[in-house]
Amino acid sequence: MFEGHDTTASGLSWVLHHLAQHPEYQERCRQEVRELLKDREPVEIEWDDLAQLPFLTMCIKESLRLHPPVPAISRCCTQDIVLPDGRIIPKGIICIISIFGIHHNPNVWPDPEVYNPFRFYQENIKERSPLAFIPFSAGPRNCIGQAFAMAEMKVVLALTLLRFRILPTHLKPGRKPELILRAEGGLWLRVEPLGVNSQ
């Protein structure tokens, strides 16, 4: 139950935080959504629209990289695993895998603490391992709800940005790694309604 609720809430909170910190990215997302929905009344997001929001998707993914809602997972080895240096993890051992650590590896992600959605530009992901970005885990035990979670975040983010400007506060959130990655003291933002004529 919590995996389908707290994780998405955490993901949305952090992406709103990042877009508040980067108004140029926020505005680019807003323009992308406006362009997509410009001739529609009422303004609604449909399933087929979700693939037509590439920059908004890049912003979500970069936020999930910096702040994966589930910071670590565990897996039981079903066979002996030989590491590159020759050491062996024996079958039956439970390993903790740090998704947070993978997403902040400077050998894969230069300047890992910098929010840069262009890391997920199509040209930039060609040479990257598919296991370098695993906010929903990977392999046969990955998150069965990842497509729904991404769709949910895109819809909420798109409709929020159509109606509101998200502004930062002076409060700098600290990461609080629990079962779900939270912000210590919460994520505080200011929300400013966009005027009817602001389009």
Binding site, annotated residues for heme: 143
For residues 139 and 133, give the distance between their C-alpha atoms in angstroms, rounded to a whole number: 12
CB-based contacts of 68, cutoff 8 Å, min separation 6: 99, 100, 103, 134, 135, 181
Query: Residue holding tokens 């894969």?
Result: 108
For residues 66 and 64, give the distance between their C-alpha atoms in angstroms, rounded to a whole number: 6
3 state SS of 4: helix
Annotated binding site: 143
112: Cα within 13 Å, side-chain hemisphere: 16
Is residue 130 within 8 A of residue 92, CB to CB? The reply is no
User: Which pair of structure tokens corresponds to residue 104?
Assistant: 């902040």
For residues 119 and 5, give the distance between their C-alpha atoms in angstroms, rounded to a whole number: 27
